[in-house]
Amino acid sequence: MRALVMLYGVVCYFAFFVVFVYFMGFVGDVFVPISISSEVEVYSQNALMVNIGLMLMWGVQHSVMARGWFKDMIASVVPHHVERSTYCLASAIALGALMYYWQPMEGIIWQVENAMMVNVLWGFFGLGWALIFLSTFLTDHFDLFGLRQPWLHFVKKTYTPVVFTEVLFYRWIRHPMMLGLFIAFWSLPTMTVGHLVFSIGMSIYVLAGIHFEEKGLARHLGQTYVDYQKRTSKVIPKVY
């Protein structure tokens, strides 16, 4: 049984990893057959409503399953050692559905022609994803993506929460992963109408997610996190 739990954790981890790697290409319109700005012969008249609905679906899944009351509600069915793995699997499915059903939208908002500026924007695009990836290891990558919990269960060790530490970026900002997402969503030489809708919608979700995460961390960590909030910025050093 412990081996099956461990296998489940591994499968969920790699499922999310594969979907997220595809998501990088989807957002950047590179290396993948279907991207956020794929061209089609006939554009759907309902594309805006469908795409908003897809982002709402992702937002509800990603937020509701992260709330403490939801975890308590499903605790009898989904025990702690697979709860995070299940969350990652559900997130992979929701994100995969968003990409698969995304409706291309006609029109271009901006298109940078200057070669140097194009390279600069692609550099920032890559920097955003690198910041996200590195930030997961500055906390606990394997706990965040649901591998540590089943592993501890497999080796018969009691789970201990990840210790809160201020490392590298976390000394100045509380949400470097979210900063990475903002950079990746907006740093592109070509901004189509569909991409603009996506970037606005997902940015609003990220800001809302930060708000609820801050409240949850303050309740969980108490005065330690409140003091941390006072001496750091949310996303942009010295600004927000």
Domain range summary for the chain, segments of one domain joined by +: 2-231
| Residue 238 scores a pLDDT above 90 | no
Torsion sign across C-alpha atoms 95, 99, 105, 109: positive
Residue 236 pLDDT class (50, 70, 90 cuts): confident
Phi, psi dihedrals of residue 18, rounded to the nearest 5°: -65, -45
Mean pLDDT over 202-213 rounds to: 90
* 174-200: pLDDT as tens digits: 999 999 999 999 999 999 999 999 999
pLDDT value for 32: 92
Exposure b/e, 84-98, CB count within 10 A at least 16 = b: bbbbbbebbebbbeb
C-alpha 165/C-alpha 208 separation (Å) is 24
Phi, psi dihedrals of residue 164, rounded to the nearest 5°: -70, 120
C-alpha 28/C-alpha 188 separation (Å) is 7
What value, to the nearest 5°, has the Cα angle with vertex 31 and ends 44 and 146? 95
Mean pLDDT over 203-222 rounds to: 87
pLDDT averaged over every residue in the chain = 91
Reduce the DSSP state of residue 101 to 3 states and report it.
Answer: helix
* 35-81: pLDDT as tens digits: 998 888 888 889 999 999 999 999 999 888 888 888 888 888 888 88
Residue 240 pLDDT class (50, 70, 90 cuts): low
C-alpha 203/C-alpha 222 separation (Å) is 27
Pairing of strands 190-192, 108-111: antiparallel
